[in-house]
A and B are shown apart, each in its own frame.
Chain A
Amino acid sequence: MNVVTPFEGIGASVKRKEDLRFLSGRGQYTDDINRPGQTYAAILRSPHAHARIASIDTVAAAAMPGVVAVFTGADMPDLGGIPCGWQIHNKDGSPMAEPMHPVLAVGKVRFVGDAVAAVIAETRAQAKDAAEAIAVEYEVLPAVATLEAALAPGAAQVHDDVAGNVCYDWHIGDKAINEAGFAKAAKVVEFELVNNRLVPNAMEPRAAIGDYDPTTEDYTLYTTSQNPHVIRLLMGAFVLHLPEHKLRVVAPDVGGGFGSKIFHYAEEAIVTWAAGRVKRPVKWTAERTESFITDAHGRDHVTKARLALDANGKFLALHVQTLANMGAYLSTFATSVPTYLYATLLAGVYATPSVYAEVKAVFTNTVPVDAYRGAGRPEATFLLERLVDVAAAETGMDRVEIRRRNFIPADAFPYQTPVALQYDSGDYQATLNQALEAAGWAGFEARRAEAKARGRLRGIGISTYVEACGIAPSAVVGSLGARAGLYEVGTIRVHPTGSVTVLTGTHSHGQGHETTFAQLVTDRLGVPLAQVDVVHGDTAKIPFGMGTYGSRSLAVGGSAMVKAMDKIVAKAKRIAAHLMEASVEDVEFDRGTFRVAGTDKTKSWAEIALTAYVPHNYPIEELEPGLDETAFYDPKNFTYPGGCHICEVEIEPETGITTVVNFTAVDDVGRVINPMIVEGQVQGGVCQGIGQALLESCVYDSEGQLVSASFMDYQMPRANDLPMVSVATHTTLCTHNPLGVKGCGEVGAIGSPPAVINAVVDALKEYGVRHIEMPATAAKIWGIINASRPAMAAE
């Protein structure tokens, strides 16, 4: 019988395996988990951005109904500080300033939200009530809430041992060559811009449950994490001093991360440590405002740039000076974001011969800042793509032509940039051409005129970008200061009946790995998708792993699976050769069938799997039973997705309201495994980028109070703020991983913000606007239009 089954392998838009449980309310997010005898933690947080703690009185709180324990920093003298995972060096070679980050504040609080005390109680409400009864006497100190304030002469010191609030003063590129480039310039374009601070706001607030078994002395932490093994490493080795075999970290279903759930947070250490003290499970769940004042924020750069061009509009040299806000303490990957994830991307898609970048990272009395969707690459892309538009305007060149003239040509790969990276593949002309066609670029002026007749200002903007993801080669990042390897681990466990369990060290929190990774197995081994399950998020089940961020899961984690499948197939062929009495060199394998080459002798996948576990007729002297292989994969290079985003907006001049009317993304993400999932990732990323460009603004007042600390005050994009997003791909394969994949998780958020702002500036060109800072809110745009009214009327 010939059974026709739908194709479920690489390239098929199969529906997601994980959806049924989420659609039925049967997901298991951290706060959905309840442990027997569980208590609840509430964290008392600093209401001041900067203050000395004169005293903490917990007596009244400890006597409140249901209170089990109250802890302050003084109760934790043996705990280590929360570590930073990446050491950056100053221009002079000295290491960055790395101040202590205590789990609960000791002596001083440094941002609104800094954890001061933890109450453990029988119920959530009792814990909150008791936290309010703790009396803390603060001596309020002057605070520095912005980069400018922190660097001003005589500014308050966030850390007594960090002079001038400077964490590091770093650079990359050759300064002398750069200066020579400027010396030859026919035109120099100077430009300053801000990359606005954002709050990630995954819909699931962070949560953590600590559990302790006094009989085995085993600790378990359930946490909303993108990388449970990394949390085990950071919290176990550096904070709680627990060996790996006594600490299990489970990251169950996680409701979105966008980077904010990479990092090791104080609350994880608090609940784990407290569980050991009170000998009961301890659960903490953030309220949304608590998320706003404790989840690491994103972006927050202030940049000055100069671009040298020759008389033909070719870029000669780029000089960039960036100030990057670190917040009050160094979060896990904070230091790498404005350096190796940002400045190394400042060549962009252009063959600029020289790039020299200087980055100063600065402490302020604000929430720590770390990676947020794209992490450094959106900041680089926004700078470059705004700068190129400004250069086009100031040299009288067409916006598309100036890009074409400076693109790295398709035949120049592998291409060594002047800022360390070597791009392996890409075709920027091709993605540009495809996007121009799809967006109807050529017909835009007619649409502008039609809009004008309706009283609307219409603009179009373009952004061409490359990013670096699939992080990362361990030796390379190690030489740059990373304190971990960035390989990934995959196990392919073939069961006796032939079904497969995949164990991966990456973590899925919306990306659909349970489906995409299963498709890899189906494609290679021929096992139907329904018989492949993917397991992630538990250090007790998965050998090891570095987690999910930097669009690395498929490029690095998927490659580890391919390596493990290579081992599976090699072993299975030896079993098949034995059963078919053939030489192993003569056995071919294709999606579920082993065949002696050139004959009709075959064995099925199920027969080989069963034989591996029931080895009655088996080459037992030379081959172990079982079919279960693990591989570690360390990538050879980053991967380099790129593409072109085109945005079309209409502005209502009476209100300044901007509507995105069309958005076209053409991205090169390498080989596409599941087109439906890739489109969804790009759409979501683009919409986050539109949010950054038009709506989202994280605002501190001058005293360090976060005034945009709820969904009432921080404008998250809603359905009616956003357009349909047209997504297409143009593939060049990654040349150095076995799947040819590059990554799609961040491209949307990287490519889109400058496309939006370029469109807004284009729409406002009759008002002489050179630049508008993000978010380009209605108030800002209305202000620009209104301010120019008398002048225009006078003309």
Chain B
Amino acid sequence: MPQVTLTVNGKTSTVDVEGRTLLVELLREKLRLTGTHVGCDTSQCGACVVHVDGESVKACTILALQANGSQVTTIEGLAKPDGTLHPMQEAFREYHALQCGFCTPGMVMSAIDLVEKHPDGMSEKEIREGLEGNLCRCTGYHNIVKAIAAAQEVMHGRAQALAPAAE
């Protein structure tokens, strides 16, 4: 059985996989990192998005073997060791950008990559277009868009702290 060695959330593991094993299966079933979810089988929903070498990737659309030697970050690896949340996680909480929570890990991972790729900031329309690879059935995206708009200000250093959601 082939082996794959990869570093997930700073921890290096070597795992036996089948050739057909997907990265998301390795994460969920071998490493028991169940924060990364599977919501479809056609790469449409984005619940499985993780970062592979700093890029957002749908973990259901990449073989585990393709991630050999990679640095992978999942939702479990976002917060600092002391528990401080990433500004995007904090923004999702502040703006009520999650309901059932199932799409949330993929949505947060996609949103972070989206913000990082737009250092000049994004308009509401650009944020909506940027989320085309992620489905949410609960929120109607309204508060997700607001959360990302607020988080980008903190992530790009234009704001010291997250703007509070209006009451």
Q: A residues bordering B, Cβ < 8 Å?
A: 13, 15-16, 18-29, 31-32, 34, 125, 201-205, 253-256, 258, 285, 287-289, 509-512, 675-677, 679-681, 683-688, 710-712, 716-720, 722, 724-725
Contact = CB atoms under 8 A, between A and B. Distances in A.
B93 A23 contact: yes
Nearest to B33: A25
A420 B16 CA distance: 64
B127 A510 contact: no
A23 B100 contact: no
B105 A25 contact: yes
A24 B44 CA distance: 23
A140 to B, nearest CB: 27
A23 B89 contact: yes
B142 A724 contact: yes
25 contacts: A22-B98, A24-B85, A25-B34, A25-B36, A25-B75, A29-B34, A29-B37, A202-B102, A202-B137, A203-B39, A203-B45, A205-B38, A253-B100, A254-B100, A255-B103, A289-B41, A677-B96, A680-B99, A683-B140, A683-B143, A684-B138, A688-B140, A718-B131, A718-B135, A724-B145
A24 B88 CA distance: 11
Given A24-B35, A256-B138, A722-B141, A16 B100 contact: no
Given A29-B37, A289-B41, A680 B96 contact: yes
Contacts of A719: 127-129, 131-132, 134, 136, 141, 144-145
B137 to A, nearest CB: 5
A276 B39 CA distance: 29
B165 interface: yes
A158 B129 CA distance: 45
B149 to A, nearest CB: 11
B104 interface: yes
A415 B120 CA distance: 57
B47 interface: yes
B128 A711 contact: no
Given A23-B85, A203-B137, 16 more contacts: A15-B93, A19-B92, A19-B93, A19-B101, A22-B101, A23-B101, A23-B108, A25-B36, A26-B35, A203-B135, A255-B102, A285-B38, A676-B165, A679-B96, A683-B143, A720-B125
Contacts of B158: none
B37 A288 contact: no
A687 B136 CA distance: 10
A34 B99 CA distance: 24
Interface string B43-67: 0110100000000000000000000
B125 to A, nearest CB: 8
Contact of B99 (A201, A289, A512): A512
Contacts of B33: 25
Contacts of B161: none
B71 to A, nearest CB: 17
B139 to A, nearest CB: 5
Interface string B66-103: 00000000111011000001000100111010111111
Interface of B is mostly: loop
A113 to B, nearest CB: 15
B98 A23 contact: yes
Contacts of A203: 37, 39, 45, 47, 100, 102-103, 135-138
A15 B165 CA distance: 10
Contact of B139 (A16, A509, A680): A680
B94 A23 contact: no
Interface in B2-29: 18, 20, 28
B160 interface: no
Contacts of B20: 125
Contacts of A725: 140, 142
Contacts of B135: 203, 711, 716, 718
B52 to A, nearest CB: 16
Contacts of A255: 37, 39, 100-103
A205 B140 contact: no
A29 B137 contact: no
B123 interface: no
